[in-house]
Chain A
Amino acid sequence: MTSAGSPLAGRLSVSSTHFEDRLATRDSTFVKALILTLSLSFFALFVVLPLILVFVEAFRKGGETYIASLTDPDAISAIKLTLLAAAIAVPLNLIFGISAAWAIARFEFRGKQFLITLIDLPFSVSPVVAGLIYVLLFGAHGWFGGWLQANDIKIIFAVPGIVLATIFVTFPFVARELIPLMQSQGREEEEAAIILGASGLQTFWRVTLPNVKWALLYGVILCNARAMGEFGAVSVVSGHIRGETNTMPLHVEILYNEYQFAAAFAVASLLAFLALVTLFLKTYVEWQVERNVAVENDK
């Protein structure tokens, strides 16, 4: 729910000249200038400037400091842990998303709408609460704390806790892209495949997957970005042990609090670059879908 953006399905933008060429929908030059000035100044101030600042601050002390900050052993272990958490969380939530979309979009059952709401739940929970719930379960004083300690298993203040918190905060991403799309597509194509003798898996690989591949990719891109960038939830379960339980965002925090600003912004610039790549891929996928919709409409 609290994820930005409409689902990918059915996006088709209309050229703005369509509105500006018509008298009825054309705003006066003054109104247009006013709205553009206000909205774009706001945008520059709140979005563009913070982005530029990250890169300027990162290189303030020169390229050498920049490279040194990123090749520091603690930074490298933070990068590795971030990649590991995403490498576990994204595939699991992808499998969940496909499974949930298959159940919800292809079958009728009671409580379906309620189930969709529950899937969106992690988006409306504060990241801090998301971290806390795993401390309550697996922490030293938690439900399973005694048992875990007796068996020498560490979840909180260790890597498994970080992975769990990451899975929680990225839980709905793939499902919420796939469910509305597969619902709108209907099940006729898959039913035809089954009736013609295809197996369930064949039907999934040959019919369902090609139909939803862009939405799937879209969900994975967003899921991955959040998995690598999560701060609050991971911060609660991490314990901030350098070289062991620090992810990249947590490493940024530690460096910043130690007044190592250039190093903090260097690691932050890597994350900001990742965000830009995410936006690029996201925009590319949207263009592909718009093109496909346009081709469909031309048929």
Chain B
Amino acid sequence: MSSASRVLPGFGLSLGFTLAYLSLIVLIPLSAVFFKTATMDFERFWSVVASDRVVASYKLSFGMSLLAAAINVVFGLMLAWAIVRYSFPGKKIVDALVDLPFALPTAVAGISLTALYAPNGWLGQLLEPLGIKIAFGPYGVLVALVFIGLPFVVRTVQPIIEDFDIGFEEAAASLGASRWQTFRRVVFPALLPALLTGFALAFARAVGEYGSVIFIAGNIPFVSEITPLMIITRLEEFDYEGATAIASVMLIVSFILLLVINLLQGWTARSTRRSA
């Protein structure tokens, strides 16, 4: 824009401060990971990031994060649908509490879920006779990741259900579609971008999650160690190179996920505009 039409003051100051603060707090510190990794020779790097124990942690972190995000999509969609479309007692409280996993410190969630699902816990003692072991194993990781991921799906899908033009549903019904056909062919396609965005957000959060998982996971090598814990383990051994190598892998994954989520959010915004 030409400077003549720039009526408002403070452009240089606000942008300058924004860029300086962003660089100091985020960009320069993050770049340290890549500079440090670049000083390692490749064999050393590879021996860390492709070691059996670390590869086992990728499998657990990615596998359980995918599964948790999938569970959240199913139940998150139902919950969002119930909150928008149905009236039931306590609805306002449920709506407010959906954000609890987001507001509750992860360490609190971690010890609480552990106490709940431990063999002597409220739920653990019911599950133990059935031979189901949740706490101190891979399924403990899953439970914690489902907990922290729930709000991401509900809060991404809920506004789309709220804004959905019911004229489409009425048109489908008047043309003879059953309620299920209407949902599957008319409503669901409109919700799909938001569902995928919610899935990606929940997945991205789950991959990096640490606090709620370490208490319930049991942290058994090759069985229930998540990737962020592998960084901590290296740090505790004062192996900063090793920790940084694993962190660089996680950062690259984060960047890819950030890109995917941006594309998905763009798609959601476009399809919302179309249907509005």
A22 CB-CB contact with B under 8 Å: yes
Name the one of B14, B100, B147, B247 contacting A99, with C-beta atoms under 8 angstroms.
B14
A88: which B residues are within 8 A, CB to CB? none
> Residue of A at shortest CB range from B212?
A231
Whole-angstrom distance between the alpha carbons of A51 and B102 in the complex? 13
1/0 per residue B63-82: CB within 8 Å of A? 00000000000010011011
Asked if B97 and A279 make an inter-chain contact with CB atoms under 8 angstroms apart, the answer reads yes
Residues of A within 8 A of B132 (CB): none
- Give B21 Cβ to nearest chain A Cβ, in Å: 5
- Nearest B residue to A255 via CB reads B111
Q: Does A20 contact B (CB under 8 A)?
A: yes
Cβ-defined partner of B258 (8 Å) among A121, A235, A253:
A121
| Residue contact A20 to B87, C-beta cutoff 8 Å | yes
A147 CB, min distance to chain B CBs, angstroms:
15
A residues in contact with B244, CB < 8 Å: 132, 136
* B79-98 with Cβ < 8 A to chain A: 79, 81-82, 84-88, 91-92, 94-98
Q: Which of B1-31 contact A (CB under 8 A)?
A: 1, 6-11, 13-15, 17-19, 21-22, 25-30
Specify which of A11, A24, A132, A143 is in contact with B173 (CB 8 Å cutoff): A24
Mask of A174-218 contacts with B, CB within 8 angstroms, 1/0: 000000000000010011001100001001000000000000000
The answer to the question of B133 belonging to the interface, with a C-beta cut-off of 8 Å to chain A, is no
Contacts of B261 in A (CB 8 A): 1-2, 124
**A22 is contacted by which of B81, B97, B98, B166 (Cβ under 8 Å)?**
B166
Stretch of A65-73, A263-271, A291-299 contacting B (4+ beta carbons < 8 Å): A263-271
> Among A42, A104, A168, A229, which residue has its beta carbon within 8 angstroms of that of B26?
A168
Proximity string of chain B (186-223) to chain A, C-beta cutoff 8 Å, 1 when within and 0 when not:
00000000000000010011011111000100000000
Which residues of chain B have C-beta atoms less than 8 A from A126's C-beta?
207-210, 228, 231, 247, 250, 254
Q: Indicate which residue in B19, B105, B152, B240 contacts A249 across the interface (CB closer than 8 Å).
A: B105
B254 and A280 within 8 A (CB): no
**Cβ-based interface call for A87 (8 A):** no
**Contact of A84 with B by CB under 8 A:** no
Cβ of A36 within 8 Å of any chain B Cβ, yes or no, is yes
Q: Which residues of A contact B122 (CB under 8 A)?
A: 49, 53
Indicate whether B130 reaches chain A with its CB closer than 8 angstroms: no
Q: Are B211 and A268 in contact (CB under 8 A)?
A: no
| Contact B231 A132, beta carbon cutoff 8 Å | yes
Q: How far apart are the CA atoms of A49 and B100 in the complex, in Å? A: 12
A118 adjacent to chain B (CB < 8 Å) = yes
Q: CB distance B33 to A133 under 8 Å?
A: yes
Residues of chain A from 64 to 116 with CB closer than 8 A to chain B in the complex: 96, 99-100, 102-104, 106-109, 115
Cα A107 to Cα B6 with chains together (Å): 8
Q: Known contacts being A14-B162, A20-B86, A190-B8, is A271 close to B105, with CB within 8 Å? A: yes
On whether the beta carbons of B26 and A118 are closer than 8 Å, the reply is yes
- Contact present for A132 and B105 (CB under 8 Å): no
Who on chain B is nearest to A128 by CB? B228
Tell whether, in the assembled complex, residue B111 and residue A118 are in contact, meaning their CB atoms are under 8 Å apart.
Answer: no
Bound complex: CA A246 to CA B154 (Å): 34
| Interface size class, chain B | 35 or more
- A2-B204, A275-B105 known; A38 vs B75 contact (CB < 8 Å): yes
Contact with B along A32-59 (1 / 0, CB 8 A): 1001101110110111111101100100
User: In whole angstroms, what is the CA distance A45 to B113 when docked?
Assistant: 10
Interface residues of chain A, those whose CB is within 8 Å of chain B, are 1-6, 11-17, 19-20, 22-25, 27-28, 31-32, 35-36, 38-40, 42-43, 45-51, 53-54, 57, 96, 99-100, 102-104, 106-109, 115, 117-122, 124-129, 132-137, 139, 141-143, 164, 167-168, 171, 187, 190-191, 194-195, 200, 203, 222, 225, 228-232, 235-236, 248-250, 252-253, 256, 261, 264-265, 268, 271-272, 275-276, 278-280, 282-283
Closest chain A CB from B208 CB (angstroms): 3
A–B Cβ pairs within 8 angstroms, 11 of them:
A4-B201, A43-B94, A47-B100, A107-B8, A126-B209, A127-B208, A129-B251, A134-B29, A164-B25, A168-B26, A282-B99
Structural contact, B82 and A39, CB atoms closer than 8 A: yes
Contacts of B258 in A (CB 8 A): 1, 117, 120-121, 124
Taken together as a complex, chains A and B put the C-alpha atoms of A102 and B1 apart, in Å, by 16
B150 CB contacts on chain A under 8 angstroms: 46-47
Closest 3 A/B residue pairs (Cβ): A126-B208, A229-B105, A231-B211
Given A6-B155, A271-B104, A280-B96, does the pair A252, B111 have CB atoms closer than 8 Å? yes
> Cβ of B224 < 8 Å from any Cβ of A?
no
Separation of A49 and B169 alpha carbons in the complex (Å): 36
Chain A residue numbers with a CB within 8 Å of B75 are 38-39, 42-43
Cβ–Cβ < 8 Å partners of B14 in chain A: 99-100, 102-103
Q: Which residues does chain A contribute within 8 Å of B85, judged by CB atoms?
A: 16, 19-20, 25, 27
List of A residues within 8 angstroms of B33 by Cβ: 129, 132-133, 136
Contact code string B147-184 (vs A, CB < 8 Å = 1, else 0): 10011100110110010001001101110000100100
Provide the bound-state CA to CA distance between A34 and B169, in Å. 21
- B38 close to chain A: CB less than 8 A: no
